[in-house]
Amino acid sequence: MLIALDKTKMLIVKLASTFLFSRFVTLPLVGRAFVPRFDGNVSEMAKYRPKTPEWFDTRKAAQAVAFFALKLGTKINILKATKLVYLADRLSIERRDHAITNDSYVSMPFGPVNTNTYDYMNGKGSIRQNEWSSFISNRAGYDLPLAKGVTLGSLDELSRSDLKILEDTWEQFKDIDKYELAEWTHRFCPEWQNPGESSIPIEFSTIFRKLKKSDPGEMAEEIAAERKLRLDLLAG
């Protein structure tokens, strides 16, 4: 389905999204402002690499992005990928009380964003880069190309339930333009707040509450406990 949108608002979304994706690099997104990197200016800030938390499942996040890229052939626009991955996580939270990627989230000017996944999309993930690059090649302009040889059968971290949610997300939004999709998240993801030229954390408890879950605080604590358990397992 295509969504009729106010033309003035759509133009603002398109211009803002294009500008931000082409002219800015971010600090760690949670609660941090955008930091400008002007074309041709080599600086320490341009080399900045945010710290990826150890509990983040890089391989699974890469496979979620790869799923959508496979739907389009060999690559996917970064703005559309950002929106689809968030919407798939949101649908997963609605249905199963947990996300596919188990990422953290922020409100950014072009909608809600998976913090760590977005860092990897921009080549800024600080750990396990090989797990990302096995599925998604380096960003090329506005596109995220698939790594060579990736097929649906390669996505071994995704359960049948994960794949069903990704497929349902694709079917709902596949025909919507990337800018319309960004505007859709502004209208229909009430956890998103307009951050101006910065970013605002989106807490799991907020998402649970907006989805009318019975005990948002306790459910958010369970997410934190699962992350701690993953850290303990990684530590051996």
**pLDDT, average across residues 172-193:** 97
pLDDT at 155: 98
Over residues 192-233, the pLDDT tens digits come to 999 998 999 999 999 999 999 999 999 999 999 999 999 999
pLDDT at 7: 52
Over residues 131-150, the pLDDT tens digits come to 999 999 999 999 999 999 99
Of 16 and 32, which is predicted with more confidence?
A: 16
126 phi and psi, to 5 degrees?
Answer: -100, -10
- Integer CA distances (angstroms), 227 to 49, 65, 220, in order: 22, 21, 11
Over residues 94-127, the pLDDT tens digits come to 999 999 998 999 999 999 999 999 999 999 999 9
